[in-house]
Amino acid sequence: MPTVTQSDNPDNSASSSILEMDEFLPIVKFKNPSSYPERYGTLVQSDEEVELSEYLDEDKKTFKILSLNTELKQLRLTFTIAKGGSKSEDDDGFLDISLSSQDESVKLSSPAQMKVKYGDEIDVDLEWDGKENKEFYIDFHANDDEDDFNVGEYENVHCGRVKVIFEGPNEWEFSVEKIQEVRSYAILNNADYSGPGDRNRYHHCTDTHKHIIYKLLDNPTDLILGKDQNHMADRLTPNDFTRAGESTTHGIRKAMITSTYAESSETFTVIDILGREVLTSGNTPGNTDKTLNGFKKSPVAYMKSRCPDDGYYVFIGAYNDDYHSFTVLVKKEGEAFDFQFVDQMVGVENHPENGFEKNKLLKNIYEYGFDFPMKLELFQVRNKKK
């Protein structure tokens, strides 16, 4: 038999089940958990058990918690309010909603207190910054509204708990918002490339992929990739840009790898029409005027292997000893992969998986052959330091 303590006078208490008639004793649960919308994520019963308030009926206060795994940054969850104590005849009161997470990455954007009654449905809105995995509980506590007819004494009756797991991106994955920001930048830069003005009117290939990196990583102050190249000055070689403190493709690659925003790059040599790998006598990438037949090792297979989950991934590439650099945006969805080639000359160019390697990458290596070593070098951009 519960003991009731008067909220404004702890010395005044009584033990009587009759007093529970005046208490608001709800139970808060997910609405229709068996048919929860798949677009919200995966709702499952966890192995974790919760014991709610002692004032609830025995068959309602102990159960295994439902857990929602989701990638959504904004989430609206619908709950039902039912009677949790069979002796309760006060059918309305206040419901307090709280999150066990105390940092700013997750916040409750709907009211933290609601006036409710048995039979109501309520929406709980959450916002998440999407940067890190976050696991927390939503807890519900009930208090009487102390109306004139039914004045309850129980305080903060724990009447519901669910678990939410926000699944952040893996260390290589970028949000669709970041990818769209990159695309918009590349399209505008391409418009400047095609428009009037001197050679500094647009970002050339090195600065294009540099600014894409900055946008992806939110301009980290500890990542120094050099000033924009001045193409109106007397700059003939990468060393000229380096001496001026300006960006080079090699310098950006080295800085990304050193800072752990990237791993070591991968080099892909080519095979000519006769089936021979194009190498020098020193066994380094060489040059040929013969038609190219393919890569010794598939760069597309490599990029696919570096995309573990559904989402967006970014690779920085360079042809022929850094003669030209570019960005590849990869979208993985199930077993399907789509590729977008990004540089100042095309803006954003769509390519299906089938044909991207031969019709774009290999073709460009041949076109930019001249006297440069024929090779492709790729590194993947990580979304944070290792």
Tens of pLDDT, residue by residue over 110-132, are 999 999 999 999 999 999 987 77
Helix 176-194, helix 205-216: angle, nearest 10: 160
- Which of 144-148, 277-281, 316-320, 375-379 shows the lowest per-residue confidence on average (mean pLDDT)? 144-148
Distance (Å, whole) CA 220 – CA 382: 13
- What is the pLDDT confidence band of residue 10, given thresholds at 50, 70 and 90? low
pLDDT at 292: 97
Residue 310 has pLDDT above 50, yes or no: yes
Residue 19 has pLDDT above 80, yes or no: no
Residue 20 has pLDDT above 80, yes or no: no
Average pLDDT, the chain: 92
pLDDT at 9: 54
367 vs 18, residue with greater confidence: 367
For 188-198, what is the mean pLDDT?
A: 97
Q: Which tokens is 234 given?
A: 């007397």
Residue with tokens 């918009």: 184
For 212-222, what is the mean pLDDT?
A: 96
CB neighbours of 159 closer than 8 A, spacing ≥ 6?
Answer: 25, 26, 27, 28, 52, 53, 56, 84, 95, 140, 141, 142
Q: Which tokens is 372 given?
A: 């440069």
Residue 167 has pLDDT above 90, yes or no: no
pLDDT at 21: 77
Closest CA to 378 of 315, 322, 330: 315
- What is the pLDDT confidence band of residue 234, given thresholds at 50, 70 and 90? confident
Interstrand relation of 157-166 and 62-70 (parallel, antiparallel or unpaired):
parallel
Q: Which tokens is 14 given?
A: 């009584």
- Which of 14-28, 155-169, 187-201, 357-371 shows the lowest per-residue confidence on average (mean pLDDT)? 14-28
For 342-353, what is the mean pLDDT?
A: 97
86 vs 316, residue with greater confidence: 316
Distance (Å, whole) CA 72 – CA 135: 13
Closest CA to 132 of 153, 106, 113: 106
pLDDT at 153: 80
Q: Does domain 3-166 have CATH number 3.30.1360.10?
A: no
- What is the pLDDT confidence band of residue 8, given thresholds at 50, 70 and 90? low
For 224-242, what is the mean pLDDT?
A: 94
For 216-225, what is the mean pLDDT?
A: 95
- What is the pLDDT confidence band of residue 90, given thresholds at 50, 70 and 90? confident
Q: Where are the domains of the chain?
A: 3-166, 176-380
For 208-233, what is the mean pLDDT?
A: 96
pLDDT at 4: 46
